[in-house]
Amino acid sequence: MEILKMENVSLTYQTAERETKAIENISLTIDDGEFIALVGPSGCGKTTILSLISGLIKPSQGTITLKDRPVTGPGHGVGYMLQKDMLFEWRTIEKNVLLGPEIGHKVDDEIKNEANELLRKYGLYEFRKHYPAQLSGGMRQRAALIRTLAMRPQLMLLDEPFSALDFQTRLNVCNDVYNIIKSEKKTALLVTHDISEAVSLADRVIVLSARPATVKKTFTIDLAQGPLLRRESAEFGKWFDLIWKEVVS
């Protein structure tokens, strides 16, 4: 079933100095339960696409629909996870996780139990009364993911969520995040610079052109599931080369 549909979406940023055409005529659909990776040269407009889907900015042209309802503004079924974990240092992990429901005035026992259940499942329950500063980078990123999940999003947007982590942590957190998203049966759209990350995670990899971004090519990756398995598979390198050539060409 289709969750997201972008049709001929374009966006031009207006500033005093110039007009910047960030994305042009992008159409894409995402099905329920899919894991999509967006790759493209830096500055091509990847973050802009996520901002559009989340409703933070409005397209200059085209339409975006989320579960058949047009996206009119933020706060409707999209969970946005940013590069840094953006945890609030003065809130406990538990309170951080409940931030989304709090903003939507939806905190009740049910959502609290749900949040606690997520914390328990993903190994942060003992740390729920701790402050972010007391957690490691990987744990913080997991907390940020649970905060996104607690919003009960229909679609999760992840903007280079691992790039602030060192390489070793990155592989682990990447694996964690993948498993959590899959076991919660969420649909995800991940933006990344890292092609190997895209190949190891995604069902489909969408390659964007340089700015203004257009969809250059879509690859359906038919490898075994799970980042660790995929990284070890013989065909991993083949996919990597294929996509890499498309990105740089």
Ligand X SMILES: Nc1ncnc2c1ncn2[C@@H]1O[C@H](COP(=O)(O)OP(=O)(O)OP(=O)(O)O)[C@@H](O)[C@H]1O
Number of residues that bind Mg ion (CB under 5 A): 1
Give CA–CA dist 154/32, Å, rounded.
9
Contact with another protein (CB under 8 A): which of 5, 12, 20, 56? 56
> Which C-beta is closer to Mg ion: that of 47 or that of 172?
47
Alpha carbon 217 to chain centroid, angstroms: 20
In a 10 Å sphere around its CB, with 0-12 CB exposed, 13-18 middle and 19+ buried, how is residue 20 labelled?
Answer: middle
Is the CB of residue 237 less than 8 Å from the CB of residue 249?
Answer: no
Give the residue carrying structure tokens 């503004």.
73
> Which C-beta is closer to ligand X: that of 8 or that of 134?
8
Contact with ligand X (CB under 6 A): which of 4, 26, 44, 199? 44
Task: Extract the tokens encoding 101.
Answer: 């429901």
Cα 234 to Cα 134, 137, 166, 231, distances in angstroms: 40, 31, 25, 8
Q: Which stretch binds ligand X (CB under 6 A): 13-21, 58-66, 90-98, 145-153?
A: 13-21
Q: Which of residues 38-57 bind Mg ion (CB under 5 A)?
A: 47
The distance of closest approach from Cβ of residue 218 to Mg ion in the complex, given in angstroms and rounded to an integer, is 20
| Residue 179 sits in the site that holds ligand X (CB under 6 A) | no
| Residue 163 sits in the site that holds Mg ion (CB under 5 A) | no
In a 10 Å sphere around its CB, with 0-12 CB exposed, 13-18 middle and 19+ buried, how is residue 222 labelled?
Answer: exposed
> Which C-beta is closer to ligand X: that of 18 or that of 105?
18
| Residue 60 sits in the site that holds Mg ion (CB under 5 A) | no
Q: Which chain residues interact with another protein by CB under 8 A?
A: 54-56, 73-76, 78, 80, 82-84, 86, 88-90, 99-100, 102-104, 151
